[in-house]
Amino acid sequence: MRQPTGEQLVFHHSVFTETCKIPYGRVTSYGQIARRIYRPQNARQVGMSLKNLTTYTRFFDDPEFQNLPWWRVVNSQGVISKRERAEAVTEQATLLRREGVMVSERGGEYFIDLNEFGWFEDASDDSESSDESDD
């Protein structure tokens, strides 16, 4: 793999930073991460960024990225996306269950109830609002 461009590194860094914000025991979607980084059309690229996590994190000197909770990102229907390695799907379900997320299995797919376990805050919710008082 060749060296990513500066723009690609900014994108990956943004994806990883937002993924680190997903609370323990909650999940979000690839599309939600894309919206939070102001790239709403790039949900698939978010998935590719997380798929290639070990390749891209070596470009960043951020210890938080070493334990990035990739398993907290699912598709927009609350389904754990299929992988090239079937055991990776099972691993993701196991990691979510360890955090108390209820993962159901039907027809070889793993489902999470997004109404119960979803985290879909806007990026603006992260910033602290200023205290403005009328004097």
Counted domains in the chain: 1
Q: Which residue has the tokens 């290639």?
A: 52
What is the rounded distance in angstroms from the CA atom of residue 32 to the CA atom of residue 74?
10
Residue-wise pLDDT for 6-29, tens only, equals 999 999 999 999 999 999 999 999
Q: Is the residue at 80 inside a domain?
A: yes
Q: Is the residue at 59 inside a domain?
A: yes
Q: Is the residue at 127 inside a domain?
A: no
> How many CA within 13 A on the CB side of residue 134?
0
Answer whether residue 123 shows pLDDT above 80. Answer: no
Question: CATH number, domain at 107?
Answer: 1.10.10.10
Q: Strand 28-29 relative to strand 73-74: parallel, antiparallel, unpaired?
A: parallel
C-beta separation of 56 from 15 below 8 A: no
pTM assigned to the model: 0.87
Residue-wise pLDDT for 81-97, tens only, equals 998 888 999 999 999 99
Domain that holds residue 36: 6-119
Q: Strand 73-74 relative to strand 103-106: parallel, antiparallel, unpaired?
A: unpaired
Q: Report CA 67 to chain centroid distance, whole Å.
A: 12
